[in-house]
A = this chain, B = another copy of it.
Amino acid sequence: MSSEQLASHGHTTAAQVRKDLSHFGSFGKRGLGYSIEELSVRLRAILGLDRVWQVVLVGAGRIGSALFEYPDFKMRGYDCVAIFDSDPEKIGVQWGTTTIHSSERLEAVIEQLDVDLVILAVPASVAQEIADRAVEAGVRGILNFAPVQIKVPDSIPVEDVNLVMQLEALSFKITRGGAGE
């Protein structure tokens, strides 16, 4: 496949495709284009997707349960190995084959199952405390749904999902006129 073809799939330009790939080494052959299979294998390795990531979900509320059923998770290599909640009525319940544990067991489970990532779907008021405990227990990254900025050591990446900020981004683009990207 040519860089032009790749670019049209990604809504970008052929020059950008070649430039982006060049950051990670040498891909494809001049005049012949790219082998899709080779490109796919190498990109998955670069993105760290050539392995399974152990994930725990903290917060078994509406957002947590919506996330848990998100069809792409497992397919893409993210295995949710435990769920935590502080509500006694939820503790011990199973979602599929995954058990909801008491939040008190967070550190023990993270260490025991060698968990990589934590998804925080808890109220803003407890997000920092849970994040601190998860980092202390050894998680390596956090996907944060709590509407609050959490502080962790620089070595721990955090991705925030902030729906209000995304709505505000839409409002801004509409107000300023024209969409852009």
Q: Does A78 lie at the interface of the complex (its beta carbon under 8 Å from any beta carbon of B)?
A: yes
- In the bound complex, CA of A167 to CA of B56 (Å): 12
Q: Does A15 lie at the interface of the complex (its beta carbon under 8 Å from any beta carbon of B)?
A: no
| Interface residues as binary, A70-108 with B (CB distance below 8 Å gives 1, 0 otherwise) | 111100101000000000000000000000000000000
A171→B47 contact, CB < 8 A: yes
- Please give me the residue from chain B that is nearest to A66 by CB atom: B62
Q: Does A63 lie at the interface of the complex (its beta carbon under 8 Å from any beta carbon of B)?
A: yes
| Interface residues as binary, A147-175 with B (CB distance below 8 Å gives 1, 0 otherwise) | 10100001111110101101111111111
Contacting residues, chain B, for A163 (C-beta < 8 A): 67, 70, 72-73, 143, 161
The oligomer's copy count stands at 2
Number of interface residues, chain A, beta carbon within 8 A: 51
Knowing A157-B174, A174-B48, A179-B157, the reply to whether A167 touches B62 (Cβ < 8 A) is no
Q: Does A69 lie at the interface of the complex (its beta carbon under 8 Å from any beta carbon of B)?
A: yes
Task: Write the nearest CB–CB distance from A181 to chain B, whole angstroms.
Answer: 8
- In the bound complex, CA of A71 to CA of B116 (Å): 29
Interface of chain A residues 38 through 73 with chain B (CB within 8 A)? 46-49, 53, 55, 61-63, 65-67, 69-73
B46→A172 contact, CB < 8 A: yes
A167→B47 contact, CB < 8 A: no
- Given A48-B175, A157-B180, 4 more A-B residue pairs with CB atoms under 8 Å apart are A49-B168, A65-B66, A72-B163, A155-B178
